[in-house]
Amino acid sequence: MLRKLGWLLPAVALTVPAFAGAEEAAGVSDAMFTVNNLWILLAAALVFIMHLGFATLECGLTQSKNTVNILFKNTFIVCIGILTYAFVGFNLMYPGDFQLIPGVLGFAGFGLDAGAEGVTQAYADGAYTYWADFIFQGMFAATCCTIVSGAVAERIKLGPFLVFCTFFVAIIYTIAGSWKWGGGWLDALGFYDFAGSTLVHSVGGWAALVGAWMLGPRIGKFKNGQTHPIPGSNLPLAAIGVFLLWLGWFGFNGGSVLSADAAGVSYVFVTTSLAAAAGGVAASLTSWVKFGKPDLSMALNGILAGLVGITAGADVISINASMLVGLIAGVLVFFSVLFFDKIQIDDPVGALSVHLVCGIFGTLAVGIWGTTADGADMPLMPQIIGILAYAVFTLICSFALFSGIKAVMGLRVSAEEETDGLDFGEHGMHAYDLPKVSMSGAGEDR
């Protein structure tokens, strides 16, 4: 393992400091119970902000004629994600003893029920209440489909996409999540994914790959074997989106400590930020060397690549190793974007490169640099098995779901609608209704 090569990376093999997790919080005081619960709720709010980041990033990196469509999709995803997670998803992901196929599929019933102990310290050993547990996990649920949204942007029909998201968030994501976070077979195997490099990001990435492949590229993206860039409409908006996502990631990763443990939360904040910063630097410098000038969109995706890469092991990877993870992810995302263009998979925002490729890398990084609290190396083989299992499951389910929807409703808008923009074709409105400016400089109504 690279982590053991002291002659190559002597500073990387630092021991990760141990910190008390939620499982050690039994018997906490009333005050600590309140603090724990408050932190989980605050983390849920930060994850919620990430949906605004995804929406603004996607709008910024696509054409302005599709802005309303993108905003509507991202709005619907959050709403349907929370509702379906309450109705069926939470109990699919955390079925407890209600196992239909032990370790693979369980279901604790429809709806939410805190029970007699759900709001007391008896629930989760005093780390949070049942309701805090639900809302924090629920904020994660819809993020998978925001990844899909970016990869299929500017040419997918609205109705079919919303149907896909409803079933994907409610059933596919939650069953996959139960294998690890719900105490399923991958958890028993020793697979480790702290906050979702695989469970959230690469699961969403595999679905995005299926969708982008089935839809085909946007009109004009590839001609005669050559790639023709379709520039984004608003890079300031894209930058705002990335910084909102970076902010939200403090809740995404920091909340995954599952308590307000001071050492644990602060440590995860640091590894998360160092990886993000390193990813941004690596992608910036790589684009500068390759193109002769630095590419802002690559720099922004480099930050996200670092964040995705560290998410699986933010609590078990050393400080120096977290920077290395970010650096590698930043380089990976750059060449991955070029690779998908070369094989003519059209991904308008780089979602496949950020979430799928760097999600896989981040999961492997746990087995390369991860260290347990007692200093032992974390195994690599369970990480490989987990990656493969989620790839097969998500690819099959996504292909079946997209194929069924395509047969019934179709997937792609007409060439005319794509050319005119989905804002008008799907919604009958435009995002920017600005007056025309005459040659004399006076404003005119459109």
Look at residue 437 and tell me if it is in a domain: no
Q: Which two tokens stand for residue 102?
A: 């032990």
What residue has token string 């696509």? Answer: 62
Q: Which two tokens stand for residue 125?
A: 């050993």
Domain count, the chain: 1
Inter-residue contact 275 to 310 (CB < 8 Å):
yes
Look at residue 123 and tell me if it is in a domain: yes
CATH code, 259: 1.10.3430.10
Q: What is the DSSP letter of 62?
A: S
What residue has token string 């908006």? Answer: 237
What is the DSSP annotation of 342-363? HTT---TT-HIIIIIIHHHHHH
Look at residue 7 and tell me if it is in a domain: no
Look at residue 443 and tell me if it is in a domain: no
d(CA 345, CA 330): 20
Residue type, 408: V
pLDDT by residue, tens only, the chain of 446 residues:
333 333 233 333 344 555 544 344 456 889 999 999 999 999 999 999 999 999 999 999 999 999 999 999 999 999 999 999 999 999 999 999 899 999 999 999 999 999 889 999 999 999 999 999 999 999 998 888 899 999 999 999 999 999 999 999 999 999 999 999 999 999 999 999 999 999 999 999 999 999 999 999 999 999 888 899 999 999 999 999 999 999 999 999 999 999 999 999 999 999 999 999 999 999 999 999 999 999 999 999 999 999 999 999 999 999 999 999 999 999 999 999 999 999 999 999 999 999 999 999 999 999 999 998 888 899 999 999 999 999 999 999 999 999 999 999 999 999 999 999 999 999 999 998 766 555 555 444 43
Print the domain residue range for 98: 29-430
d(CA 164, CA 174): 14
d(CA 36, CA 125): 11
Look at residue 438 and tell me if it is in a domain: no
Look at residue 15 and tell me if it is in a domain: no
* DSSP helix, strand, coil percent of the chain (3-state; round to 5): 65, 5, 30
Q: What is the pTM of this model?
A: 0.91
Helix axes 358-369, 296-311, angle to 10 degrees: 50
Look at residue 302 and tell me if it is in a domain: yes
Look at residue 179 and tell me if it is in a domain: yes
